[in-house]
Amino acid sequence: DAELNKADAKRYNQMKLVKKGPFTMGTDAKLTKDGEDPERRVTLNDFYDVYEASNAEFARFVKATDYRTEAENFKNSFVLETLISEQTLSKITQQVASSPWWLPVDGADWLHPEGPDSNISKRLDHPVLHVSWNDAKAFCEWGGKRLPSEAEWEKASRGGLENRLFPWGNKLMPKGKHMVNIWQGEFPKGNSAEDGFIATCPCSFEPNKLGLYNTVGNVWEWVEDWYSTRHTSDAVQRPKEGKVKVKKGGSYMCHKEFCYRYRCAARSENSPDSSSSNLGFRC
């Protein structure tokens, strides 16, 4: 408890108001085929956004509810190969053909992000990993909160700026300064961590104008919405069903040549029961 208190004293419940009003969602820049276009005006009501849910916060939830994550029930989850210990690697026999840097690791879960021989003791203030969309939703509900809609997520990330690539503007490194936790060096061989982080980070870099940290980079973040690439003119109207859920913001694994998705408009998807070592959420 003492460790948890220390880790989340600065973070817990620090919600930031995102004021009602319109913003421009998406981009016509055609940077991906993920359905970022068209640009559209969306008007939202007031809502509150909070930081990426941390390991400490998730630990409180599990302690209070005995919740078991889907990764714990499946008994495995996906981990980036370069983060896995030799010992754990030697036990892995499967690979994902389309993305060989992802390995299914038995015993990888939120408490053991790189497999059974890893732990979160030094990362209580980092975002919780290996949580499915269903897990994220359960956490938010326990806290009397909810996942953001995709539009809410994007408006919060943009922080009041219009039509910018990133939460702070259009330049990746204004005045040579790192603003986001992404991949430097050759992907997937090794992250040279010039931004200070090989994998996840706690609330770091400059927050956006609303005081929100790490909306892009660090970890992908689940949102409430089903994924679709067809948007109606009224973007508040959301798909009523689907097979996969939207995730936003990219992660520490993103690299311009390989995954130019550490941008406000960027999006991707996963099935609601999937989990990995670069995917978390905020409420």
Ligand X SMILES: *[C@@H]1O[C@H](CO)[C@@H](O)[C@H](O)[C@H]1NC(C)=O
Binding-site string for ligand X from residue 137 to residue 176, where x marks contact by CB under 6 A and - marks none:
----------------------------------------
CB of 75 to ligand X, least distance (A): 19
Q: Measured from the CB of residue 60, what is the shortest distance to ligand X in angstroms? A: 18
Instruction: Name the pairing type of β-strands 47-49 and 220-226.
Output: unpaired
Q: Name which of 115 and 127 has its Cβ closer to ligand X.
A: 115
CA distance 229 to 232: 10
Nearer to ligand X, 121 or 233 (CB): 121
Sign (positive or negative) of CA dihedral 51, 56, 62, 65: negative
Looking at beta carbons only, is 3 or 234 nearer to ligand X? 3
Return the residue of 43, 45, 95, 119 that touches ligand X, per CB under 6 A. 119
For residue 236, which amino acid is it? Answer: V
With CB under 6 A as the contact rule, the residue among 94, 98, 121, 233 that binds ligand X is 121
Minimal distance, residue 117 CB to ligand X, in Å: 8
Nearest-CB residue to ligand X?
Answer: 119
Nearer to ligand X, 125 or 221 (CB): 125
The two beta strands, 220-226 and 102-106, are unpaired
Nearest distance, CB of residue 129 and ligand X, angstroms: 15
Site residues (vs ligand X, CB under 6 A): 119, 121
